[in-house]
Copies of this chain bind each other. A is one copy, B any other.
């Protein structure tokens, strides 16, 4: 049977339970037998908005999914292009040929639709609770952020001194 590839794009700064829920839901879709997880803003790191490198984010997601017994995914960093008219072609060149795009972002939806892709909207997770922005702020404030991310993510952030890194980024 032919494999059907889905695509989902995020920045994953850091990867949290909301992201995981979306990926797990997509993988139940019969139209998606394998998932390309694209790491957006791959060139960014060491900023308040994007503290972790693409490589660090890839490792976080891989560890979580592998430990859940999930193996049918690709983890591919996508540097920003900031030219939306060519952005889909840019993504296409970096990932295996995809059959369906999963997104709730209206720009991503529009750009892939204009190129003829089938776009599906995964069920929204609780965005108030699970939010990269909020988690980064909680890390800085010493609030209990660990419960919002899979254990592997917390461990990797500790190992790479990610807490200290984030705190230094907000120093005056």
Contact = CB atoms under 8 A, between A and B. Distances in A.
Interface residues of A, number: 44
A82 to B, nearest CB: 8
A109 B46 CA distance: 12
B85 A62 contact: no
B171 A43 contact: no
Interface string A77-93: 10100111110111011
A45 B84 contact: yes
A168 interface: yes
A94 B54 contact: yes
Contacts of A62: 74, 96
Nearest to A57: B96
